[in-house]
Structure 1
Amino acid sequence: MDRSFYQFVLTYRGGEKNDPYSVFAETMFNDQSFPKYERSFDALSRYIEEKADSQMSSVLFDELYRHFEDRFL
Structure 2
Amino acid sequence: MNLSFYHYLMKYRDAKAKDDISLFANHAYNDHAFPKHSNDYHELSSYLEMNGAYLESMSIFDKVWELYLLEANK
**TM-score above 0.5:** yes
Q: Distance in 2 between matches of 1:4 and 1:18?
A: 24
Structure 1 residue 56: Cα displacement: 5.5
Normalised by the length of structure 1, the TM-score is 0.88
Q: Tell me, yes or no, if structure 1 residue 70 matches structure 2 residue 44.
A: no
Opposite residue 49 of structure 1, the aligned amino acid is: E
Aligned-residue RMSD, C-alpha: 1.6
The count of corresponding residues between Structure 1 and Structure 2 is 73
Structure 1 residue 54: Cα displacement: 2.9
Runs of 5+ unmatched residues, structure 1: none
Opposite residue 50 of structure 1, the aligned amino acid is: M
Q: Distance in 2 between matches of 1:13 and 1:4?
A: 15
Q: Distance in 2 between matches of 1:47 and 1:56?
A: 14
Runs of 5+ unmatched residues, structure 2: none
- 1:40-51 pair list within 5 angstroms: 40-51=40-51
Structure 1 residue 52: Cα displacement: 1.3
CA contact (8 A) 2:28 2:34 kept: yes
Opposite residue 67 of structure 2, the aligned amino acid is: H
Aligned to 1:12: 12
Q: Percent identity?
A: 30
